Amino acid sequence: MPDVYAPTAPVALVTGGNRGIGREVCRQLVGLDHVVLLTARSAKAAQEAAAELGPGVLGIELDVTSEPDRVRVADEVRERFGRLDVLVNNAAVAYDTWQRAVSADLDYVREAAETNLYGPWRLTQTLLPLLRASRHGRVVNVSSGAASLADMGAGTPAYATTKVALNALTRILAAELRADGILVNSVCPGWVATDMGGPGGRPVADGAAGVVWAATLPGGGPTGGFFRDGVRVEW
Ligand SMILES: NC(=O)c1ccc[n+]([C@@H]2O[C@H](COP(=O)([O-])OP(=O)(O)OC[C@H]3O[C@@H](n4cnc5c(N)ncnc54)[C@H](OP(=O)(O)O)[C@@H]3O)[C@@H](O)[C@H]2O)c1
């Protein structure tokens, strides 16, 4: 990693930063004078996206399901910055509109959980000493309205159950990390026109803005909440 960044700038790590909402979150955070660690499971994709977004964005290989990747990235962040101010758990898979719970492939559900639940959970654990070293740690778990129990109906069983579990993780971590001053929230970006969302959704910038809002909350801001566009939504 090049040693060219002001150590006082907030340091943010975004997973799945090579495309879609994650990439736009990186773009908005660097615009807010963060040093952005744009991570992607392809090193090439990470580096290309970082180069496109310009100075202040570093591309780093990180498959959230890979323990060696998580450990290497934590080592790099520790050596270069000594802390992490913002973690955005954005990477996700398996918007399984073709499945129904009554007949779902449970192996597929378990695989989805590796990326959508255990990946962010393990990454947060691995980065926790660095988040604690920040004076204003923020964790944003990018969730979905599909995880809202209040609205839940048939379909997308892998996606919905893993995002519900991610929301539970948000609540538990928020309570456990409150004393450390680390704010942990879930954010639904709304329906956004990405590869996952498909055409017809709202602009990526609008979906990313609510994520960036939670990533840049002031001290004393909310924790353990579920938000869309900075407004609470029902669990
Ligand atoms: N779009 C919507 O309408 C919508 C609505 C509600 C919630 N969300 C949530 O918003 C977030 C971003 O969604 P999106 O629409 O931007 O999705 P997307 O366009 O499909 O992008 C998903 C990103 O996650 C990455 N990813 C997948 N598995 C990974 C892994 N194991 N390790 C690291 N990165 C991995 C992908 O990398 P590759 O390029 O390598 O595949 C890609 O960068 C997700 O959490 C999604 O559930 C989206």
**Ligand 1 centroid – CA 201 distance (Å):** 15
Determine, yes or no, domain membership for 2.
no
Output the six-digit token pair for 235.
């669990």
pLDDT tens by residue, 99-120? 999 999 999 999 999 999 999 9
Range of the structural domain that residue 23 is part of: 11-232
User: 218: domain CATH number?
Assistant: 3.40.50.720
Integer Cα distance of 44 and 229 in angstroms: 32
The amino acid at residue 125 is: Q
pLDDT tens by residue, 148-200? 999 899 999 999 999 999 999 999 999 999 999 999 999 999 999 999 999 99
Determine, yes or no, domain membership for 1.
no
Three-class DSSP category at 191: coil
Nearest CA to ligand 1 atom 43: 16
Q: What is the pTM of this model?
A: 0.97
Residue from 196, 227, 228 whose mutation best tests the ligand 1 pocket (most atoms within 8 A of CB): 196
**Ligand 1 centroid – CA 25 distance (Å):** 12
Domain count along the chain: 1
Task: Tell me the DSSP string of 77-109.
Answer: HHHHTS--SEEEE-------TT--GGG--HHHH
Q: Put the strands of the sheet holding 231-232 in their side by side order.
A: 57-61, 35-40, 11-14, 86-89, 138-142, 183-187, 226-228, 231-232
**114-to-29, 33, 80, 136 alpha-carbon distances in Å:** 27, 32, 28, 28
For ligand 1, what atom is nearest to the CA of residue 116? 45
Active site members: 159
